[in-house]
Amino acid sequence: DSGVTQTPKHLITATGQRVTLRCSPRSGDLSVYWYQQSLDQGLQFLIQYYNGEERAKGNILERFSAQQFPDLHSELNLSSLELGDSALYFCASSGTGLASETQYFGPGTRLLVL
């Protein structure tokens, strides 16, 4: 158990809908990262937050957005969903200083868009 929690575990929805994925980092970790894992693309970095502020952006679509709250939990919002958005979404967290080097991953949310 990495100490990173994600809810829900599974999500089934329809095209055009909007969903919110939630992540709680390990105790004391200030950084949260979101990744998408699909069969053909592998694990792709989406976005990073550090202590409430956006720090880095990867291949995140404009239909997707994220935020980190004062209690450090983070939410990833996916809107106007398409079939191709079906994937595993992982959250990871890391600490500060030397501890920022290692990212610890949560169990993921499996999203199925029908």
Residue with token string 């996916």: 78
Out of 45, 52, 73, 79, name the contact with other proteins by CB under 8 A.
45
What span, in angstroms and rounded, lies between the C-alpha atoms of 113 and 67?
A: 22
Out of 16, 28, 58, 84, name the contact with other proteins by CB under 8 A.
58
What span, in angstroms and rounded, lies between the C-alpha atoms of 19 and 4?
A: 20
Cβ 103 to other proteins shortest distance, Å: 6
Coil, strand or helix: which one is 40?
A: coil
The answer to whether residues 25 and 32 touch, using CB atoms and an 8 Å cutoff, is yes
Q: Which is closer to other proteins, CB of 17 or CB of 96? A: 96
Q: Interface residues with other proteins (CB under 8 A)? A: 2, 4, 31, 33, 35, 42-45, 48, 55-56, 58, 88, 90, 100-108, 110
